Chains A and B, each alone.
Chain A
């Protein structure tokens, strides 16, 4: 079973890297990009076959390591 975790800086936390990307896009002539937020994707392959259990485990992983919930939010997708 595969899991995909998306980690993003929380809304309201300034993302200077996203802002730098937005600025570079503007330099390249891409007008109208109002905001860029940059995050990361973590893919996991799990031995677990029960989707509910897998989601609960990966959520626990996010809380304990994969995301810093002081500044980041996360979303778990099980496939």
Chain B
């Protein structure tokens, strides 16, 4: 390794536990002045927790942070800023209704006798933007600027406090290619000025385009620190997904691959008593692959797409089949699901269900055509937290019956009891508010909500995220039994082994594009190869 004096930030043995979840466990991070350092990891890896500890939003439980030769423990973003650590978040955290100049200097405006000097402020702001190679009318409103420009303005603000370390938390997720290039140019310029930049992203190509080194986290633990140039893309993906690269070719269907140990694991005990699920379950490729032609397509979509969502893609989902939708975070999986369920309107393409063309413009309509959608965002798109388990469970069913034909209470209770038993939902009774249930049990209630509708196609978006291992296995088993009963399933997950285990066919997405479709003999390795494949 190079000269130690380059090392600007030395975080050692950082640990953080939230009630029931170990978010970070003995993580190290080393950042050097004059480098761009990628921080990589899938959901629940601990990236955002680590960043929040560095920026003083959370306090760490254990570990030390040495910054610029001093031990620091910032207690607030402004303390971190004072120490020289500035952050730009994915959601631009500026005031959209104020001018560009104010957004750069709010809280530290140049003043004379307590009076804000607007002219000096505008000059100062223009200079700060110049440093980034940006020429801009600084008196215009922030919200009239594109997101990319707002991002730059946020960076200008962050740098204006004499920052030595700039943390960019997923700054590119809403930028197009050209805008990304412009941002990268600025990042390189700042790096050459001697700034340390920590760059969080889930776009692999960007990591290779702009970073010098990579730290990979997984499930709250450190996987390792690597030189970007010396780490092949495929290996990086393997590390993010928790695979040993040597294991890759043989890891068919996840046999022998331990299920990830945590991801918000509320009840530690369940992890150890793994059910004998893996061996029992049908593994995708071991089954004789049935050809598409033999199956009846339930839904087929032709070149459906949406600006800033997904590029137009084709999709066919068959009855009695699990179609996996694989790809890294931000690859357009959820966006595809939302288009199919009529939540977002599509800009292009058409969809037919059971051979008939349908508009699919609202969830209500999608439901009436036999679709169901279990969102990945349980909290904001799934549960009604204060309503009971019973009410959450029958909500979709009641909605499809209309307001006037109320399900009689005994019937509601029968359905609720049935699913509580069938899915092994752990709840005191049917009247418990759903917010009192653990994540896995909430997820099962939401699944039950849709199963009670007896849909013909169920879209499961990350159904196993943030729930304990036992519940994960149960959900996988359930998906299998649904398929056997002739239901079509669209299964979205960032756990590749899971996708491989449950799906008969897999559509692979990367950077909001469909990059391939695999059927029959596929494994994690082939999916990762598709994801890693360079842009053409």
Partners in one complex: no
